Each structure stands twice: as C-alpha cells, then as structure tokens.
Amino acid sequence: MTHQVSLPDHDGQRQSSTAVPPAPALEVRSLHITFRERRSEVHVLDGLSLQVQPGEFVSLIGPSGSGKSTLFHIIGGLTAPDAGSVLMDGQDVTGEKGRIAYMPQQPALFPWRTVEDNVLLPEELRGTSKTTARENARSWMERAGLAGFEKAYPHTLSGGMQQRAAFLRALMSPQEVMCLDEPFSALDALTRSDMQRWLLDIWEDTRRSVLMITHHIEEALLLSDSIYILSARPGTILKRVEVPFPRPRREDTLNDPSFIALKTEISAIMREEQHKR
C-alpha cells in the first residue's frame, strides 16, 4: 500500500504532491515537412520538437534557410506538415488558424488606419466596445511612448515606433502565445537596443508565452528563459540552452563573464552548422 503525501498550498490548504503540471502553452512534436518541386525535393524540417511553458520567453536561433519561418507558418496553421503535430495547452491544434498572436519581421500596420486604430484592431475584431478598446489602446500606447501619436498614420512614424505599435497590436490579441519573427531585424543597432529594453519591461509585466525567431545571439540571451538552437537544413533541434541570468535583466548583463562565455559557446555551435551548408 502506498501513501500519498500532501503539501500545503499558498492558502494553507492541503494539495497533492502528485499534482499534474500544466501543459505547455505551445508544444511542437516531431514536425516533418518537405517541399516538392518538379525535379527536386527540399527537406526543410526533420522531426523538430520544442516547448514553450506558460509565461516563458523562448528564442529559436539557427542558420539562414533552416526552416524557422516555415515552423511559424505551421504553428500558425498556414502550412500543413507532412508529419507531426502542434499542441496548445495540451490540445492538438495542427492546421488551425487564429491560435497565435503573430508579429512579422516588418510591422505590417494597415496604412489607411491610424496608429491607435491599428493597435486596437484585435479588440475591435472580437467585439469589444469602441470606448473600451480605445481606452485599452491608449493605456498601452502611453506605456510604449506613443502618446500623442494616436491619430498619426504609420508612414509618419520611425521604424522603432512602428514596431512598438505592431507589438502592442499583437499584445492586445486574446491569444496567449505570441510568435515574434525577427521583430527587430530591420532596425539600426541603437534603436534595436532600445526596443530590447522596452520589450523586456513590457514582457516582465504581462508574462505572455513567447516564441521568438532571431539571428542575434546576444538578443536571445538577454530576452529569453531558454533558447533552442536549430541545425542547418533539414532543421532539427541541436540543443536547448537554459538561460541562467536572473531577471530583471539590463544592459550590464551583457558584460557578465558568464553571459559572454555562453554567447561564445552558442556562436561556436552556430558557426559549425553554418559551415555544413
């Protein structure tokens, strides 16, 4: 006969030590996909698996052409895999659209809508009253340094400001999982650094579940809880790196010897993969 041990929870009540942990916010299981052309085949993903836990910030890095964007298309239901599955909160959602908040490399703001109207679009689509949607949008815009630009049009904003507006639009969507596809790749180094600090502050407050593609190792280490390193094509996971640095993180983290050592280790893995192409 076995005895089950109970532990007090935060309210002083008893809870089972065998409680089942929550399902990952996002789980990708053994994805395979090959693109077929007239006389050739391109094997893009080869049994790729990864997880994003609730409230976790995860980055995916790897060589160009290793299937990162294809992975996002599969997660978003835009492309069907040959094999494998996508799960959210333990539910198979493979092929279903509208299950993620997606932010592409370019801001993709609607040029005919004001900045405010772009930001509040997700709430508008789900039927939130205009007054409430506008109040929520303006609250986030103030935090994003966009106060005073509510009635401006996207083309009048700098690249960094457009990216902030695009991120807020994704943030206001009801989906728990956010997929960010190299969101800062088009920005200059100084603006990129500013955006990283801003994203860190916003994420610390919201703790959304995030999967981000980036080629920037330093960026991945600064922002992430864990990093998946993707192989050269066909893409599979080479290594999962737990990022050990405590939060909140700031720029001085970049000078930590442990940070530099981990960056060097990941760089060596990626350089080796790049040479395989």
169-197 pLDDT, tens digit each: 988 888 899 999 988 887 888 888 888 88
State whether 277 and 197 are in the same domain: yes
How does the average pLDDT of the chain come out, rounded? 87
Q: Is 26 exposed, middle or buried (0-12, 13-18, 19+ CB in 10 A)?
A: buried
Distance CA 86, CA 7 (A): 34
Residue 82 included in any domain: yes
Are residues 117 and 83 part of one domain? no
Q: Is position 15 within any domain?
A: no
Please report the pLDDT score of residue 128 as a whole number.
87
Residue 27: inside a domain: yes
Do 156 and 186 belong to one domain? no
Do 180 and 254 sit in the same domain of this protein? yes
Instruction: Determine the 3-state secondary structure of 49 from DSSP.
Output: strand
Q: Cβ neighbours of residue 187 under 8 Å, at least 6 residues apart?
A: 159, 160, 163, 195
pLDDT value for 242: 96
Is residue 8 in a domain?
no
Helix axes 159-171, 130-143, angle to 10 degrees: 130
What's the pLDDT score for residue 25?
A: 96
pLDDT digits (tens, 9 = 90+) for 6-47: 333 444 444 445 677 789 999 999 999 999 877 888 899 999
pLDDT confidence of residue 224: 96
**Co-location of 31 and 132 in the same domain:** no
End-of-domain residue from the set 145, 174, 203:
174
- Assign 150 a pLDDT band (cuts: 50, 70, 90): very high
CB-based contacts of 70: which residues, under 8 Å, 6+ apart?
A: 33, 44, 45, 79, 235
What confidence tens digit (pLDDT) does each residue in 105-115 have? 877 899 999 99
Helix/strand/coil for 74: helix
Confidence of residue 100 (pLDDT cuts 50, 70, 90): very high
Mean pLDDT of 72-76: 94
Amino acid identity of 220? A
pLDDT computed for residue 277 by the predictor? 62
Confidence bin at 202 (pLDDT 50/70/90): confident
Which three-class secondary structure state does DSSP give residue 159? helix
Determine the structural domain holding residue 207 and report its residue range.
23-100+176-277
Query: For residue 83, what is the enclosing H or E element?
Result: strand 83-88
Assess if residue 133 is contained within a domain: yes
Do 59 and 196 lie in a common domain? yes
Say if CB 179 and CB 75 are below 8 A apart. yes
Residue 128 CB coordination number (10 Å): 17
Q: Is the pLDDT of residue 204 over 60?
A: yes
State mean pLDDT over 127-131: 88
Examine the fold and report which residue of 126, 156, 174 is the final residue of a domain before the chain moves on.
Answer: 174
Residues contacting 147, CB < 8 A, separation 6+: 138, 141
| Domain shared by 167 and 184, yes or no | no
Of 126, 143, 174, the one marking the end of a domain is 174
Structural domain contains residue 4: no
Q: Does residue 182 lie in a domain region?
A: yes
Q: Do 64 and 192 fall within a single domain?
A: yes
pLDDT at 18: 63
For residues 95 and 201, membership in a common domain is answered with yes
| Predicted TM-score (pTM) of this structure | 0.85
| pLDDT of amino acid 163 | 87
- Residues 262, 219 share a domain: yes
Q: Which of 104, 120, 108 is nearest to 168 (CA)?
A: 120
- The pair of structure tokens assigned to 200 is 């860190």
> Which residue intervals of 40-184 are DSSP H helices?
68-75, 115-119, 121-125, 130-143, 159-171
Q: What is the pLDDT of residue 252?
A: 87
Q: Give the whole-angstrom CA distance, residue 64 versus residue 218.
A: 17
Cα separation of 121 and 251, whole Å? 33
Q: Is residue 14 part of a domain?
A: no
- Domains of the chain: total: 2
pLDDT 10s digits, 224-271: 999 999 998 898 999 999 999 998 888 889 999 999 999 999 999 988
Question: Per-residue pLDDT tens for 208-222?
Answer: 999 999 989 999 999
